[in-house]
Each structure stands twice: as structure tokens, then as C-alpha cells.
Structure 1
Amino acid sequence: MEFLLAIAASTGVVFVAEMGDKTQLVAMSLATRYRAATVLLGITAATLAVHGVSVLIAEVLGLALPTDWITLAAGIAFVCFGVWTLLGDELTDKDEERAASRRIRSGVVTVAVVFFIAELGDKTMLATITVGTRYDWLPVWIGSTAGMVVADALAIGLAALLGKKLPERAIQIGAALLFFLAGGAMVFQGVRAVAS
């Protein structure tokens, strides 16, 4: 049961974190140059690698820090992710240049490399680390990868249908609210545990 709960939690957190995120914009940009299946395969490979590193970091942090303090820190991080989401992420010229790069012959490898670089230090990587400090690494790795791929597949599909006229601000506000709610609950739980 704990395994499934960890998968569900990490899938949901990363799915929400990816909404309106820079890497989601990178995925949509890559989808204008490559077939959707190629983009999703590359994103999956890159996400498996980045989130593998994330859960490793989470395991090390989880062993080094007391659980009550991790809960409090995770709650604060989620509130920060909410603010980050509200402020938004923009695709820089450098991101566009990377997405347009065709130096590598394989479309899947190009997408994986571009997405891997864009994902390093990104909100979804940090969210995976945060969730990973609360649950075992394997279900978090599976769930965070699934959440990322589903969020990007949804964005690619909607962009194809709507011609990139997604209500980005509404998505950002909704995602930020979810982070604020989850973060507030964890901060409350962490403060109660630390104080007692």
C-alpha cells in the first residue's frame, strides 16, 4: 500500500510541478520539430536519468536528516514551488536554440539530451527530491517519471489541438494553489512534530 501511495504522491506532485514549467515549453517546442512519439521517448529517457539522480539525493538527505525536519522543509519547499509556479518559467533563447539543435542524428537522443539539460535543477527535479525524502526511492522514481511524461504528453497533445493557445496563466494559478495547499499542510504537520 505504501508503494502505491508513494507512486501516486510523486506522480501527482511532478505532474502539477510540470504544468506551465520551462521543460513543458521545451517539450512543446521539440514537438514542432520531431514526431510526438520521438519527443515522448526522449523525454522518458531524460526523465528516468534526472529523476534517478533526484531520488539518490533524496535517499542521502533522508538518511542524514530527522523526519520531522524533513516534513517541515518539504512543506516550505512546496510553498516556494507555488511561488515559483505563479512567477512562471519562460523559454529562453538558449533553450530555444538547444531545442532547435540537430547536431545529433537521432531525434530521440537529441530530445533526451536537450530535455536532460533543461531539467537539471528545475522545479520538477527539486519536487522529486522533496517527495523522495518522504518515501522509498523506487516508487518515487516510477511516479515522478510517469507524472512528467503524462504532463508533457498532455501539453504536446493540447498544443497540437489548440495551436499553442493554452490558458497558461490559469494552469499556473491552479498548480500554484495545489502547491500552497500541500505545502501549508506539511508545514503545519512539521511544526507540530518539531514542537512536540
Structure 2
Amino acid sequence: MEAFLVSTGIVALAEIGDKTQLLAFILAAKFRKPVPIIVGILVATLVNHGCAGAVGEWITHLVSAQTLRWVLGVSFIGMAIWTLIPDKFEEEDAKLARMGVFGTTLVAFFLAEMGDKTQIATVALAAQYQNLAVVVAGTTIGMMIANVPAVILGDRIAHRMPVRLVHGIAAAIFAVLGVATLLGAGEGLGL
């Protein structure tokens, strides 16, 4: 349950103000069809985070538990710092060939998530908890918690969110996870 809750919370907080959330706002304004946009976000996230989580679990078989603990601890601290750096959205992320609302959302979200902090967090969380299904379910729910309101409410909520505060909370959680991992929390998980 811890893996699910931590994965959900971290991604939901980290996603606020993220480029993929900005993409959700733009797609919602452009197409005004929330259901195919939401389904596109869900499918893109499941595939992207599923692959990222698989990489995270695979990494656990390549390195020793001690090395993995240090890599994860430093990675979580790095994620804390990265979370405090605002994302820049490229308009090109929203311009795709005519594939319909679902297809455009699916491809745009999948590509926008490549190398994004929430994808990297999924890799680290899957390595930390070694429970692919639970981590991917959590990160996907976190993504949906942040992006569904963006699609449904669009500009009405965009300027009301305290993005810096939310990013600060997410950064603090990443930092605590990093320090706890470096201090040996998770040794019961084989780390």
C-alpha cells in the first residue's frame, strides 16, 4: 500500500505545472472533447510508465543492493531539485498530424513524458519498491489526478493553483525519500 500511495502522491504533486499538464490544458482548449483526451492521457501514461517501471525493476537485477540504495537515494534527491525547476512547454508538443483527438493526445502525451520527471520518478519508484503493477498503478492515478481537472476545467483553474507551493511539497517528499533511502529505509525490500 505504501508503494501505491507514495507513487500516487509524488506524481500528482510533481505533475502540477508540468509540461504534460500544460499539454492537457492546450488539448482541452483546442479540441473541447474531454473524454477522448482523458482516455488518451490514461493509455499514454499506462504504456509510458509501464515501460519506465519495467526499466526500474530491471535495474534492480543489474546492481548490488548497496549500489542500488545509493543510486536511488541520490536519484530521489536529484528529483527533489528537478521538481523545483519550472518546465518549459514547447508548442510543438501539441502539433501532430491529424490523428483525431484520442490519437493526438496519446502520441503527444507519450512523447511529452519521455525523459520527464514523472517518468524518471516511475523508474526510481519501481526500483525502490520492486512492485511494478502497484507503482505503475500509483503513478498513473497520480497523473490522472493532476491532468483530469486540467482537461475538464481548463483555464478556470490554471491560474489559481499555487504551483510553487505544490512543487515545494513534491520536492520535500522526494528529498525525504532520498535521505531515507540513503539511511537504509527499504532494506526490508532487499535494497
TM-score of Structure 1 vs Structure 2, range by shorter chain:
0.7 to 0.9
Q: What is the DSSP-based 3-state SS (H/G/I as helix, E as strand, rest coil) of the residue aligned with 1:33?
A: helix
Cα offset for 1:182? 2.1
Q: Relative to structure 1, is the Cα distance of residues 68 and 5 closer, same or farther in structure 2, using a 3 angstrom cutoff?
A: same
Equivalent of 1:67, from 60, 65, 76?
A: 65
Letter matched to residue 182 of structure 1: L
State the alpha-carbon separation in 1 of the partners of residues 173 and 151 from structure 2. 22
Letter matched to residue 51 of structure 2: V
- Contact 2:13/2:166 (<8 A) preserved: no
- What CA deviation, in whole Å up to 9, does each residue of 1:79-105 have, x standing for no partner? 11111111211112xxx133144x224
Partner in structure 2 of residue 121 of structure 1: 115
Partner in structure 1 of residue 172 of structure 2: 177
Structure 2 residue 140 is matched with structure 1 residue 145: yes
Equivalent of 2:181, from 162, 175, 186?
A: 186
Cα offset for 1:157? 4.5
- Contact 2:46/2:136 (<8 A) preserved: yes
Equivalent of 1:91, from 81, 89, 92?
A: 89
State the alpha-carbon separation in 2 of the partners of residues 75 and 99 from structure 1. 34
Equivalent of 2:98, from 101, 104, 107?
A: 104
Q: How does 1:34-45 map to 2 (within 5 A)?
A: 34=31, 35-45=33-43
- Contact 2:28/2:152 (<8 A) preserved: no
Cα offset for 1:163? 5.2
Q: How does 1:159-178 map to 2 (within 5 A)?
A: 159-162=154-157, 164-178=159-173
State the alpha-carbon separation in 1 of the partners of residues 73 and 153 from structure 2. 31
Q: TM-score, normalised by structure 2?
A: 0.85
How many residues align? The count is 185
State the alpha-carbon separation in 2 of the partners of residues 54 and 105 from structure 1. 25
- Contact 1:19/1:175 (<8 A) preserved: no
- Contact 1:33/1:100 (<8 A) preserved: no
State the alpha-carbon separation in 2 of the partners of residues 70 and 184 from structure 1. 14
Give structure 1 stretches of 5+ with no counterpart: none
Cα offset for 1:177? 2.0
Partner in structure 2 of residue 24 of structure 1: 21
Q: TM-score, normalised by structure 1?
A: 0.83
- What CA deviation, in whole Å up to 9, does each residue of 1:51-95 have, x standing for no partner? 111121112101112233323222211111111111211112xxx
Q: Relative to structure 1, is the Cα distance of residues 22 and 67 closer, same or farther in structure 2, using a 3 angstrom cutoff?
A: same
Q: What is the DSSP-based 3-state SS (H/G/I as helix, E as strand, rest coil) of the residue aligned with 1:8?
A: helix
Give structure 2 stretches of 5+ with no counterpart: none
State the alpha-carbon separation in 1 of the partners of residues 102 and 112 from structure 2. 15
The farther-off stretch of 145-154 and 65-74 is: 65-74
- What CA deviation, in whole Å up to 9, does each residue of 1:2-36 have, x standing for no partner? xx332223222222322222212112221211222
- Contact 2:150/2:158 (<8 A) preserved: no
Cα offset for 1:181? 2.1
